[in-house]
Amino acid sequence: MGNADTAAVRAYHERTKHSVQSVRAGGHFLDWDIMPRPFKVYPELEPMALPPDFTSSTRPALAAIADAGGVGGTGPPLDRTALARLFYFSAGVLRRSTYPGGEIFYRAAACTGALYHVDLYLVCGPLADLDPGVYHFGPHDFALRRLRAGDHRATVVRATGHEPAVAAAPALVLFTTTFWRNSWKYQARAYRHAFWDSGTILANLLALAAAVDLPARVVLGFVDGELDRLLDLDTAREVTLGVVALGREAPPPPPAPPAGPLGLATLPLSAREVDYPAIREAHEASSLVTAEEAAAWHGTPPRPPVPPAAAPVSLAPFAQEAVPESIESVIRRRGSMRNFSAEPLPFDQLSTIMRAVTRGFPADFTGPGAALTDPYLIVNAAEGLASGTYVFDRERDALVPLRAGEFRREAGFLDLGQSLGAAAALDLYWLADLDRALGRFGNRGYRAAQLEAAIEGGKAYLTAYALRLGATGLTFFDDDVTAFFSPHAAGKSVMFLNALGPGGRR
């Protein structure tokens, strides 16, 4: 079984769908005695504290969020201060609060169940105040810990099939997921969440980089085993999901030193763990095994055919300078809304959300006109736009009406019976044609479609808070969503959902 045998990931997707029957008959309960630790901790490695003070960027937040990767310069020099800003506002702990049972950590990016199972690692050459090496970022104490000394970038370059952005980057951020830290609550569906939750982190990271003109590119095409070995991961429990190349015009990296097993101790996550083999099977089925395979994987899918559609609704102009606030300030305020108000969403704000979200982002699997997903909307309350359902036409940069009417009740049902879907002014779903994604990218196209939707969903989060609105991610009844948006969405699969609108409390 290899990446081309797409029956494997299709089986995983079908197996992890939510339906009314599966949710009611599931029988899963949360065993609080084995709730996993929310951090990966290396107790024997010396922490290298990161600078806690940052200078905010000056580019308006909306411009940074919407940036499609058109950065022209090389950005500021990458040093510990620059890296600290990126790590803090993408995966750091921004606030803490205590309660009788323990402590709650509020992180920079949204995460399913607030379980924070995604870790960031740094692979860098010599920087101004940081020796070359492989480092783990610890959000719990805001520090780096060096796993390996020496410049190991050549290993990542080779593993990605010599992807140009990786080869030219002075620093590389690798992101991983630890299955149990999410599957404790979500069982086998946690593999979907691996991409949802890394996507919201990457939305922050890409906006932070764009705000200071720092080149950044997401790379999903790599030899999984080589990067897992470089990070010394126990792949039955933690795996590499992707790479972000930071900066450009670095000299070619020297040959990488040997990278044998490290055997580093980490604190146990819980007294015991429950295994969900379906997660590992889906990951292994979508793994690449040679550098040549990785090199061939990079690229974009063919443009999808444009179906006949009703007259589109043009969006309001995108005023990206309208919010002078910095992206750092927006991230500090971001949360997950728990109570939407009844106020309608102004049409210019709905337009701003759609334009900021759908301009694209720099990655090795997507590009202008080549997105793997389509945003579908349930508009519950918007000034200047009739309530009903719409699809965003990426080719025409406009909304296409599907059905007019009041669908709050349906939105509440589709969103796993959660009242937030009914209360929000806008429910924004990303649906993918998996035939197209898997036909171009094999099983790994499933990873790409999930991640693309999540990055755009993360951009929706940020845009909503930049506009002083609220947003929250929700889960869904898979086939019911497809049926609701059909016939237009017939054959597509839901990847991500965000509810947005004027809000009350977080």
Task: Kindly report, residue by residue over 124-147, the tens digit of the pLDDT.
Answer: 999 999 999 999 999 999 999 999
Give the sign of the dihedral formed by CA 161, CA 209, CA 127, CA 85: negative
Torsion angles phi and psi, residue 98, rounded to 5: -110, 155
Tally of CA atoms within 13 A in the half-sphere of 331 that contains its CB: 35
Q: In terms of CATH architecture, what is 314-501?
A: 3-Layer(aba) Sandwich (3.40)
How far, CA to CA in Å, does 362 sit from each of 5, 35, 220, 446? 28, 36, 11, 18
Mind listing the pLDDT tens digit of every residue in the chain (506 residues)? 689 999 999 999 999 999 999 988 888 889 999 999 999 999 999 999 999 988 889 999 999 999 999 878 888 999 999 999 999 999 999 998 887 777 888 899 999 999 999 999 999 999 999 999 999 999 999 999 999 999 999 999 999 999 999 999 999 999 999 999 999 999 999 999 999 999 999 999 999 999 999 999 999 999 999 999 999 999 999 999 999 999 999 999 999 999 999 999 999 999 999 999 999 999 999 999 999 999 999 999 888 776 666 789 999 999 888 889 999 999 999 987 888 998 999 999 999 999 999 999 999 999 877 899 999 999 999 999 999 999 999 988 999 999 999 999 999 999 999 999 999 999 999 999 999 999 999 999 999 999 999 999 999 999 999 999 999 999 999 999 999 999 999 999 999 999 999 986 54
- Residue type at position 136: H
Q: What's the angle, vertex CA 197, arms to CA 196 and CA 198, rounded to 5?
A: 95
Nearest to 315 by CA among 228, 206, 390: 390
What predicted TM-score, i.e. pTM, was given to this entire model? 0.97
The pLDDT, as a whole number, for residue 102 is 77
Per-residue HEC secondary structure of 200-217 comes to HHHHHHHHHHHHCCCCEE
Residues 357-398 pLDDT 10s: 999 999 999 987 789 999 999 999 999 999 999 999 998 899
Nearest to 462 by CA among 105, 199, 203: 203
The pLDDT, as a whole number, for residue 155 is 98
By the 10 Å C-beta count (0-12 exposed, 13-18 middle, 19+ buried), 244 is classed as buried
The pLDDT, as a whole number, for residue 506 is 46
Continuous segment of H or E residues that includes residue 497 = strand 493-501
Torsion angles phi and psi, residue 345, rounded to 5: -85, 120
Question: For 7-297, which CATH class?
Answer: alpha beta
**Coil, strand or helix: which one is 174?**
strand
Q: Provide the token pair at 480.
A: 């019911």
For the chain, residues classed under CATH 3.40.109.10 are 7-297, 314-501
